[in-house]
């Protein structure tokens, strides 16, 4: 079952977010600590009119979510850039034991419906370059590379 999160879901989202950051820490420990976003952040995203946690449940247990936010290009004020209103997926998480059941795909489909209902033109997200399974998942779901972010340690 898919649904939008409410304040009663904060602890479950926090626990799933912890799972995500453990994986991110394993992939890029120099950037990510293995701890979740603070509950106050989760609450603010739930209560914002510009964002939602889309939850997926299995037997009344939250087994995954997509955190999505409506965004406007920060460069719209400059004539050099085209005005752009889009959705941004902060994170998409499915517990390991529930993967390969189509839950991630269902979350992506619901995120697309969410964006279309707000008349947004596209969906963006970030993925770590060494997170090959996540990158392959997003590509299978129609995402294409359009910008590359580079980093140099100094």
Task: Say which residue the tokens 């299995």 belong to.
Answer: 58
pLDDT digits (tens, 9 = 90+) for 110-141: 999 999 999 999 999 999 888 999 999 999 99
Q: Are 18 and 119 in contact (CB under 8 A)?
A: no
Q: Are 122 and 87 in contact (CB under 8 A)?
A: yes
Average pLDDT over residues 83-88: 88
| Average pLDDT value over all residues in the chain | 91
Which pLDDT does position 55 carry in this prediction?
Answer: 98
**Maximum average pLDDT range among 62-66, 72-76, 144-148, 149-153:** 62-66
Alpha carbon 85 to chain centroid, angstroms: 17
Whole-number percent of the chain with pLDDT over 70: 97
Q: Are 49 and 36 in contact (CB under 8 A)?
A: no
The whole-model pTM stands at: 0.89
CA atoms of 11 and 38, how far apart (whole Å): 10
CA atoms of 26 and 5, how far apart (whole Å): 28
Average pLDDT over residues 53-59: 96
What's the chain's length in residues?
154
Which pLDDT does position 83 carry in this prediction?
Answer: 77
Which pLDDT does position 44 carry in this prediction?
Answer: 97
Q: Name the pLDDT band for 89 (thresholds 50, 70, 90).
A: very high
Judged by average pLDDT, the poorest of 67-76, 91-100, 121-130, 141-150 is 67-76
Whole-number percent of the chain with pLDDT over 90: 66
Which pLDDT does position 76 carry in this prediction?
Answer: 64
Residue closest to 54 by CA, chosen among 133, 119, 1, 97: 1
Run of H or E residues at 25:
helix 10-27
CA atoms of 66 and 84, how far apart (whole Å): 22
Residue closest to 70 by CA, chosen among 40, 111, 37: 111
More confident residue, 16 or 36: 16
Average pLDDT over residues 46-62: 96
């Amino acid at each position: 079952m898919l649904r939008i999160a409410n304040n009663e879901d904060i602890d479950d989202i926090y626990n799933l977010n912890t799972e995500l950051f453990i994986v991110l820490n394993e992939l890029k420990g120099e950037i990510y600590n293995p701890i979740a976003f603070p509950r106050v952040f989760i609450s603010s995203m739930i209560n914002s009119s510009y964002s939602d946690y889309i939850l997926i449940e299995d037997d009344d247990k939250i087994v995954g979510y997509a955190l999505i936010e409506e965004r406007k290009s920060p460069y719209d004020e400059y004539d050099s850039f085209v005005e752009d209103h889009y959705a941004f997926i902060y994170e998409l998480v499915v517990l390991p034991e529930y993967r390969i059941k189509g839950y991630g795909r269902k979350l992506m489909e619901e995120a697309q419906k969410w964006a279309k209902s707000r008349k947004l033109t596209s969906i963006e997200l970030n993925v770590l370059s060494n997170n090959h399974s996540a990158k392959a998942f997003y590509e299978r779901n129609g995402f294409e590379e359009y910008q590359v972010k580079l980093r140099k340690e100094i």
